[in-house]
Structure 1
Amino acid sequence: MSLNAVAHLNFHGQARAALDFYRSVFGGQATVVTYGDFGMPAEAPDAAKVVFGQVAADNGFRVMAYDVPGEERPVAQDTPTTRRENGTTITREPFFLSVRGETVDEVAAVWDRLADGATVIEAFGPAQWAPAFGMLTDRFGVTWILDVAAEYAQA
């Protein structure tokens, strides 16, 4: 038996844009199914919103997303809830998404694309525990940790 955990992100009207962005960052194919595709009348306010969406890439990256029915809410652009202080992470968020690669070059390329429109919490670069590490909150309010696997972690 094999199990996979895949992050399922909840949005309020931004799921399609987020999935398109993540596909541009990580590659792969995006699948988007709307409430209307599942039979909601076209004139209903939520008909064009995403009820099922995912990005799946050959490199193993997977993420799912949907729009919570109801009023659209913009992505919070106020004070970030995560920050780094004296080498520690201070946050009120219940989770981060982590992307780990094998080389600095491959992860740096993903970082550069994901950082477009993001709030950088810690710039991508060498870290005491990894060849490279960085943390940011993307334009959709999702906080990501990107790092390069340390040799001792590749056993």
Structure 2
Amino acid sequence: MVAYSFKKQFGPPILAGTKAQTIRADRKRHARPGEELQLYTGMRTKHCRLVARVPCIAVEPVRLVFSRRGPSELFEIAGTPLSPRKMIRFAHADGFDSLDAMNRCWWAEHPPEEGDTLDFTGVVICWTPLAPADALDIGAAA
């Protein structure tokens, strides 16, 4: 079992089934398909909440290139560039209302040391979207 922490804003989209992936930097060990994921908000804080337990269905290399000047420039999954339409769907699956909202968030959270291009490589970890009946009763855990 592998645990991932999310900002509080991503708890509702996970529970609604509209967020079904997370983008993470490379590290020694990520989840593998078939393993259970534990999805938390506020992990390692007194506000820690378990949002869901879900099976990992895919882990793929990802490259995201964001421009400070405007729309995102490039998304690649497993080396294959996404079309503009698929980039929008990717942003929605990651819990954003739009590609622009995703771009703004990445610039706020991961600004490059210099320049006006943010170039990120890591992995995208996917799970089966939750149906409302699958959601944990997180209010009972309080």
Same fold (TM over 0.5): no
Larger RCO, structure (CA 8 Å, separation 6 or more): 2
Give the TM-score normalised by the residue count of structure 1: 0.28
Give the TM-score normalised by the residue count of structure 2: 0.30
